[in-house]
Structure 1
């Protein structure tokens, strides 16, 4: 029964994750671009950085079309399905094991047979670590695809600046200069595909490139740990409160699950957001920003340079967008996951009854 329960949660997690991903993907794309925008403390922010998220979405639509907002969607959907499926499957397996240990301890006179906060954290951390190690290459590709046009635009701007500098030094003026500028303008960046992104990563760093950002990502395992600690403890208390009333109701509505999911994700996101920014910086194309002082060789190097050139606010770029995106996505995910689990169990029981021969 425990394995069936784990499978149900794995299937439900994958399905709900896909739905949440499709609905919130444009916000995710804009947020990733906000996180990877290198802006030194001494430099004024460009209009796109100061503009609201909605204006940025409209700007991407105008300059790149829907393809820009949904660049990397295919590997992202695959990654979401794999990530949520792997996470929920192992989460449920570890949870079942932890609950069985708690029951044994109760029989031995130790504990009340339920899981404490520390147990929830360990279960979520174990499931999260396995998930990160197995799916990190997918998210490297997604980050590259989401920020490709942004990186290419920065490279083009650097080339234009170099061309203008060369023109002023060598006296290159008139039609020749204009022709070269027009040539640069004609090569506007467009979203690229998964294979292109994979080749680019491999060319830059080999196989190791697919595990860029793995250290902050592993540390960020505490994000779902905090999220599920808040969610599970809140859900447990709500069910206990329901079971104590005179009607003996234990069912929790989809709306209540939605709100609990939102609360859980909000707390986790605010706590771990700086690690998410560092991860995105490491996974994005390193030419972005055009300045070698803003390129990173590793996690520690990224943290030092971000503090030096951008200050503490650099670690919180795009946080408001992320809160909206992640809270909405998590709420939708939890709501659909619970409903899919209920439907799965109902169908399994119904099929099982149908197979019982009538005497």
Structure 2
């Protein structure tokens, strides 16, 4: 997180790590946190059932205790028939907490790092600078929120066909039990592939920023000019599909590491066993429900964020 040369204040080389961090946090705007949180919560509440389907397909490695699904709609119908709406929203609490916190913190850190990088400059950030800013924001966000994602995965993978696996009563019960039986390491299962997953957010935000800037340039508008909802939706969808297609396998690896029904020795063990038993398609299990879920989720999040942040921060955000 280094500001451009020529920025105001002491030279970069004379600043300690703590001073760098302090200057970044000087650009923090809580309005970005609120706008990102709102977008994440709204999209999660609308689309959680598709997230449940995606995770169940991602871990479908042939274990007998798992229900067998012939496709996305068969999975949704089966869960509905056996458990009703409650079943389709299994794990929604940590998902709402996680998505709200993740989007809120991501936009908070991303905009602060962008503002810090742009200190004293009149030019726009480059694609590489957008990529690095988004990656740094992703690492900070993941470090704070990983325990929430572990509990979500554990709750989503409690199958009605295996009553003995219903060991967690809810999000906080899961957090306590995971910590008690597995320690801090249990709460950070999947963290390493999650770090690789920050490339997903980085690629998405880089693509979104570049598409938005090029579109505004094409329309002969200012770089930060407000767009209409359909334009935001189109740009968000294109950037999300690009990021998903590029980085999806890490999500399969992370979900399998976090799954309570199978034991792996680490990331390389997951990769080796998945490749040996299922080949390349194994790394893309669940990608169709994932694309169907994350594309509208991303569109909802960005439309809510862009409009709410514009409302909270004014036109000069």
For Structure 1 versus Structure 2, the TM-score category normalised by the shorter chain is: 0.7 to 0.9
- Mark the CA change 1:26 to 1:191 in structure 2 (over 3 Å): closer, same or farther: farther
Aligned pair count?
A: 292
- Structure with max Cα Rg: 1
State the TM-score, normalized to the length of structure 2.
0.84
Cα offsets for 1:120-159 (capped at 9, x unmatched) = 1110011000001110000000000001227x73xx7xxx
Shift of 1:48: 3.5
What are the residue-to-residue correspondences of 1:243-254 with 2, within 5 Å? 243=220, 250-254=225-229
Change over 3 Å in CA distance of 1:249–1:309 after alignment to 2: closer
Q: Is 1:216 the counterpart of 2:193 in the alignment?
A: yes
Residue of structure 1 in register with 2:270 after alignment: 302
1:191 Cα deviation (Å)? 7.4
TM normalised by structure 1 equals 0.75
Q: Would you say 1:233 and 2:210 are equivalent positions? A: yes
Is 2:278 the counterpart of 1:278? no
Cα distance between partner residues in 2 of 1:296 and 1:340:
43
> How far apart in 2 are the matches of 1:224 and 1:249?
21
- Larger helix proportion of the pair: 1
| Partner residue, 2:35 | 12
Counterpart of 1:75 (choices 94, 106, 116) is: 94
Q: Deviation of residue 55 (structure 1)?
A: 2.0
| Equivalent position SS for 1:148 | coil
- Corresponding residue of 2:219: 242
In structure 1, C-alpha distance between the alignment counterparts of 2:201 and 2:111, rounded to whole Å: 14
- In structure 2, the residue matched to 1:261 is 236
1:94 corresponds, among 102, 113, 127, to 113
Distance 1:123 1:244, change over 3 A: closer
1:335 aligns with 2:312: no
Cα drift, residue 348 of structure 1? 11
RMSD between aligned alpha carbons?
Answer: 2.8
CA contact (8 A) 1:99 1:115 kept: yes
How far apart are 1:99 and its partner, in Å? 1.8
Query: Shift of the alpha carbon at 1:346?
Result: 4.7
**Is 1:25 aligned with 2:48?**
yes
Quick check: 1:131 aligned with 2:141? yes
Displacement over 6 Å in runs of 4+: 2-5
Question: Any stretches of 5+ residues in structure 1 without a counterpart?
Answer: 104-112, 157-186, 289-294, 350-359
Secondary structure, counterpart of 1:297 in structure 2: coil
